[in-house]
Chain A
Amino acid sequence: ETGVTQTPRHLVMGMTNKKSLKCEQHLGHNAMYWYKQSAKKPLELMFVYSLEERVENNSVPSRFSPECPNSSHLFLHLHTLQPEDSALYLCASSRRTGSYEQYFGPGTRLTVT
């Protein structure tokens, strides 16, 4: 497997459920990111992990909880979400040096009912 993979690709959950999104990168990168992409809104950076340490948290509600156990894996734990949290959640990775281009996964389409 190469590049950045995300599972699941689609997720439907109720507001009282707890679920997790998984991201894995096979590029040898050491920075990983979660983005939220909603219809008709700009791409929103949620979290940044660099060398497994969280370096950015853009005022994201606590119902979203990231976890980065190692430089290849990133999780987003979800609980008691709201319908407005329905969106495409994108994971990305990059090197920490050079031109910092980011490589994205295909995303998880989340629907909160």
Chain B
Amino acid sequence: GDSVTQMEGPVTLSEEAFLTINCTYTATGYPSLFWYVQYPGEGLQLLLKATKADDKGSNKGFEATYRKETTSFHLEKGSVQVSDSAVYFCALCPQGGSEKLVFGKGTKLTVNP
């Protein structure tokens, strides 16, 4: 079945460091791919998405590129801030659409000043 694997956390960085959170997926065809972020005490928020191969999703300085050849959708940010401290979830929606998203386990990021 479809699945999402993301790097185990927690990840701890200093402010202005470069961030990469790896995400790979298993699915048939061309799923849609998403990154969600969950700030402390809140629900999940859609951070960015990509719906076809080679698409780059971007938002708030975060980027992720849909790589079909490596079945990956790694999240990157060039310079993290303390306010980026949160849990990040990679997710996919199977090709053709589905009411059921497949989520990774989440990666907790802590950014220290």
Contacts and interface: CB of A to CB of B under 8 A. Distances in A.
A21 interface: no
Interface string A41-52: 011010010100
Dominant SS at the B interface?
A: loop
A103 B91 CA distance: 13
A65 to B, nearest CB: 20
Interface in A24-45: 31, 33, 42-43, 45
A53 to B, nearest CB: 11
Contacts of B106: 42-43
A107 B97 contact: no
Contacts, number: 58
A42 B97 contact: no
A26 B97 CA distance: 22
B43 A99 contact: no
Category for how many chain A residues contact B? 20 to 34
Nearest to A108: B43
Contact of B49 (A33, A90, A101, A107): A101
B39 to A, nearest CB: 10
Contacts of A43: 44, 89, 103, 106
B105 A48 contact: no
